[in-house]
Amino acid sequence: MTELLLHPNIMSKLHEEITKTIGPEGTIEESKIIALPYLHAVVKETMRLHLAVPLLIPHKTEIDVKLRGFLIPKNTQIFVNAWAIARNPSYWENPTQFMPERFLRSEMDYKCQNFSFLPFGSRRRMCPGIPLAQRVVSLMIASLVYHFDWKLPDGVTPENLDMTDTFGITLQRATPLRAIPVARRD
């Protein structure tokens, strides 16, 4: 929601897509979510930029490995820093900017075949909850944007929002978002 409050044009475009698909008096249903490509792009971009788990499940080398001139000894635990990959300009144009459109131009999915989009890990250690998480987050964001206009409390502007993360096993915002929902009267 913070990114949508920081980018009202994106929230407006998302609301327009949802309203056009669902209708003015419609109900957000899972069957209709499939027909919302911009919503899926917003969800993917959110998961890219704001990973829930910044370091993926560790791997362990089974043999000595030489990689780019470095020796990684057998039995070394290796952590994949998905947070850094998601912000790497070698993989992403303007990596710190919230740009859902990048996923409209891409066939990139949650299965992570190219290893630059890792919100759920990859391969054998990939999160088995991908379908559930994708559906729940999509339904939640669609419902919040469809049913409400959002504003910040008095005295708070988008420029004042603290986007600092606190690192740990999971990634959280240092300062929780406080926003005011206003029922839509469309």
Binding site residues for heme, as ranges? 127
Rounded to whole angstroms, what are the CA distances from 33 to 26, 91, 185? 12, 28, 22
The single-letter DSSP state of residue 139 is H
Which residues are bridge partners to 55 per DSSP?
81
Half-sphere exposure of 96 (CA within 13 A, CB side): 2
Give CA–CA dist 185/24, Å, rounded. 9
Residue positions forming the annotated binding site: 127
